[in-house]
Amino acid sequence: MSADAAKARLDAPSHALWDRLSRKADLRGRAGLTRTARPRATAVDLAGNDYLGLSRHPDVLAAAAAALAEHGLGAGGSRLVRGTTGHHEAFETEFAAHTGAETAVLYSSGYLANLGALAALPGPVLLDAHAHASLHDAARLAGGRSATFAHNDLDDLERQLQTLRPGLVAVESVYSVLGDAAPLRDLHALTSAHGALLLVDEAHAIGTIGPQGAGGVAAAGLAGDPGIVITATLSKALGAAGGAIAGPAVLRRHLHDTGRTFIFDTAPPPAVIAGARTALAIARESDSARTELARRAALAAAALDMPAPAAGVLSPPAGDARAATAWAERCTEQGIAVGCFRPPSTPDHRSRLRLTVNTGVPAEDYARAVDVVAATRRIAAS
C-alpha cells in the first residue's frame, strides 16, 4: 500500500458500527450506566465475595504454593487431555461429600458450570426471574424452550409447571443481588410432583449456611436427593476460582461425554484447586465464622433499615443509577469498597448498592464501614 493510500485509509470516516456503539456509550453515560474496571485500591472490603476471608488464609496459600511448585502455573490442557491432576479429582470427591451428592464435576468457573448444567439437562427450563444471569444465558444458549416465573412465587411456578411441563426448574438458594433465600422444600415438592428436576445454584450459600456450611440444599434437609442438581462457584466463600456441578453419578458420566464447557475448556490451574480444597476443609470447621457472618449481616441490615439477609448479601435500594453511583463514590472516598448494581444487573430494575460480609475484615473496621455506608446514603440522597 502506498503512503498516500495509507493516509487516505487513516483519514476515512470510521466504520458505521463503531459510530453507533459510541453513541450508545454516550447515552449510557448520561443515564449513569457506564461501567469501568479499575485496579482495586486499599479499602475496607464490603464489595468482594470472600465471605470467610479464606483467600488469604495461610493454610490455603501454602497449599496453593506447594501445588504451584509441583505443577506449574497453568493446567496444561483440558480436563480430558492433560489438565486433570489429583487435586482436581480430590476436590470433586470432597465437594460431593460436602454437599451430600453422589459425585461432582469441576469447571473453571461457576458461570461455565451453569452453562454446562443447563445444556446437559432436559428442557424445557423454568427459571426464577431473579436467578443469576449465567442461568438465563444458559437457557438461551441451550436453544430449547424456556420461561421465567415470578421471584419465589410458588403459585406462578405451579401454573407454569402445568402448562410448560418443564424438565428443569432453576433457582438460587441465596439470591446474588437481593440476598434472599429460595423456599427450597416447597420448590422441591412442586418439581417432584410434576416430574421436573430442581437445579439449585449454591454460589452464595456454600460455606455460609447449612450444616458445616454445606449450603441451602443441606439446610433444607434435601442433601443427596436424586431430583436435585447443585451448581456452585469456588470464588466466593472458598476464596478461590472455579465451579462445580454435583449430582448423581450418571450425570457426571453424561457431562464427561457430552458437556462442551467441560470437554473444550482448559482445566482450572492445579494451584487454585489445591487452595480451594484446603479452603473447603477449613470452611467445614468454621461455624464460629458463620455465626459472625450472620451477626455482621444483621448489623448492616439494622443500620440500613432492612430485613436481615439469608446469608452475607445485602442490597439497599439507591434510587436511580446516578444516585447509586454517587452513593458508591462517596463510600469509596472514605475508603469503603461497595458494589454498585444498576440495570441490567439488578433483577428488579432498581439501582442498588450491594454489600457483602467478609469476616476476614477486622470487626472494628467493619462496624465503621457500615456506619459510613449509612451516613453517605443520607448525603447522596440530599
Residue 8, in any domain of the structure: no
Residue of 259, 273, 252 lying closest to 108 (CA atoms):
273
- What confidence score (pLDDT) does residue 25 get? 83
For residue 16, name the pLDDT band (cuts at 50, 70, 90). Answer: confident
State the average pLDDT for the chain: 92
Given this model, what pLDDT does residue 380 score?
A: 53
Closest to 218 measured CA to CA, from 197, 188, 255, 195: 188
- Residues 299 and 265 reside in one and the same domain: no
**CATH classification of the domain holding 136:** 3.40.640.10
5, part of any domain: no
Is the same domain home to 347 and 245? no
What's the pLDDT score for residue 9? 54
Long-range residue pairs from 102-105, CB within 8 A, at least 24 positions apart, any chain: 102/224, 102/247, 102/248, 102/249, 103/246, 103/247, 103/248, 103/249, 103/251, 103/252, 104/244, 104/245, 104/246, 104/247, 104/252, 105/244, 105/245, 105/246, 105/251, 105/252, 105/255, 105/256, 105/259, 105/262
Residues 163 and 69 in one domain: yes
Lowest mean pLDDT among 1-5, 226-230, 328-332: 1-5
Q: Which of 284, 307, 340 is where one domain is finished?
A: 284
The answer to the question of residue 194 being in a domain is yes
> What was the pLDDT predicted at 99?
98
Cis status of the peptide bond prior to 124, with omega within 30 of 0: yes
Query: Distance between CA atoms of 117 and 175, rounded to whole angstroms?
Result: 18
Q: How confident is the model at residue 1 (pLDDT cuts 50, 70, 90)?
A: low
Q: Are residues 49 and 149 in the same domain?
A: no
Q: What is the pLDDT of residue 346?
A: 80
Mean pLDDT of 163-190: 95
User: What number of residues does the chain have?
Assistant: 382
Instruction: Indicate whether 209 and 147 sit together in one domain.
Output: yes
**Same domain, yes or no: 170 and 238:** yes
Whole domain around residue 46: which residue ranges? 41-55+287-381
* Res 382 pLDDT > 60: no
Q: Is residue 305, in this structure, part of any structural domain at all?
A: yes
Boundary residue ending a domain (235, 259, 284): 284
Specify if 300 maps to a domain: yes
Percent of the chain with pLDDT over 90: 79
**347 — pLDDT class (breaks 50, 70, 90):** confident
- 33 within a domain of the structure (yes/no): no
pLDDT tens sequence across 288-307: 999 999 999 999 999 999 99
Q: What is the domain-level CATH number for residue 354? A: 3.90.1150.10
Please say whether the dihedral angle defined by the alpha carbons of residues 59, 65, 70 and 75, taken in this order, is positive or negative: positive
Ramachandran sector of residue 19 (left: φ over 0; alpha: ψ -120 to 50; beta: rest): alpha
Within this chain, do residues 146 and 244 fall inside the same structural domain, yes or no?
yes
Residue 29: per-residue pLDDT: 78
pLDDT grade, residue 27 (50/70/90)?
A: confident
Grid coordinates of 122: 432436559
Mark which of 284, 303, 335 sits at the end of a domain: 284
DSSP string of 236-281?
STT-S--EEEEE-HHHHHHHHHH-HHHHSSBPPPHHHHHHHHHHHH
CA distances from residue 57 to 7, 13, 298, 359, 381 in whole angstroms, order as listed: 57, 54, 25, 12, 38
- 94: pLDDT strictly greater than 90: yes
Confidence of residue 21 (pLDDT cuts 50, 70, 90): confident
- Residues 244 and 303 occupy one common structural domain: no
Q: How confident is the model at residue 18 (pLDDT cuts 50, 70, 90)?
A: confident
Tell whether 236 and 332 lie within a shared domain: no
Residue 354 and residue 235 share a domain: no
Is the domain of 151 the same as that of 242? yes
The structural domain count of the chain equals 2
* 110, part of any domain: yes
Tell whether 20 is covered by a domain.
no
For position 192, what pLDDT does the model report?
A: 97
Determine if the pTM surpasses 0.85: yes
Residues 50 and 63 in one domain: no
pLDDT of residue 20: 85
Question: 117-139, pLDDT tens digit by residue?
Answer: 999 998 899 999 999 999 999 99
